[in-house]
Amino acid sequence: MSKLADVRAVVDSIADGATLVIGGAGASVEPDLLLETLERRFLETGHPRNLTIIAPMLPGDRPGEGGLNCIAHEGMLGRIIGSSFNRNRHPRLLDMIAAGACDAQIVGMGVLIQLLHASGAGQPGVFTRAGLGSYLDPRQGGGRMNERTSAPMGRIEQIDGKEYIFYPALHIDWALIRGTTGDENGYVSMEEEPNTLGMVELALAAHASGGRVVAQVKRLARRQSLDPRLVRVPGPLVDHIVVHPTQRQVSPSMADPLAGWSPFLVGALRTPLDNLPAMPPGAVRLLLRRAALELRAGDVVNLGAGIPTHLPRIALEEGALDRVIFTNEHGIFGGLMATAIGGSFVPALNPDAIMDSGFQFAFYDGGGLDVTFLGVGEVDGSGDVNVSRFGAEINGSGGFNNIIERTPRIVFCTSFASGGLDVAVAEGQLSIVREGRSAKFVPAVEQRTFNAARALGQGQQVRYVTERAVFDLGPSGLVLAELAPGIGIDDIRAKLPFELDVSPQLRPMDTTLFNEGPLDIASEPQERRS
Catalytic residues: 329
Contact 269, 335 (CB under 8 A): no
**b/e for 415-453, b at 16 or more Cβ within 10 A?**
bbbbeebebebeeeebebeeebeebbbbeebbbbbbbbe
Q: For residue 266, which of 324, 201, 335 has the smallest C-alpha distance?
A: 335
Where are any strands of DSSP class E within 253-375? 300-303, 325-327, 332-333, 336-337, 348-349, 353-354, 371-375
The H-or-E segment that residue 203 falls in is: helix 199-208
CB neighbour list of residue 497: distance below 8 Å, 6 or more residues apart: 381, 439, 441, 442, 443
Largest CA distance in the chain: 76
Strand arrangement of the beta sheet that strand 77-82 belongs to: 103-106, 77-82, 51-55, 19-22, 174-178, 212-217, 240-243
**Residue whose C-alpha is closest to residue 55's, from 21, 106, 96:** 21
Sign, Cα dihedral of 28, 31, 36, 42: negative
Beta bridge partners of 374: 412
| Residues 409, 301: Cα–Cα separation, whole Å | 10
d(CA 373, CA 304): 6
How far apart, in whole angstroms, are the C-alpha atoms of residue 94 and residue 69?
Answer: 10
* CA gyration radius, the chain: 23
Question: How far is Cα 324 from Cα 298, in angstroms, rounded to an integer?
Answer: 5
Beta bridge partners of 348: 337
Q: What is the residue type of 87?
A: R
Q: Is residue 414 within 8 Å of 464, Cβ to Cβ?
A: yes
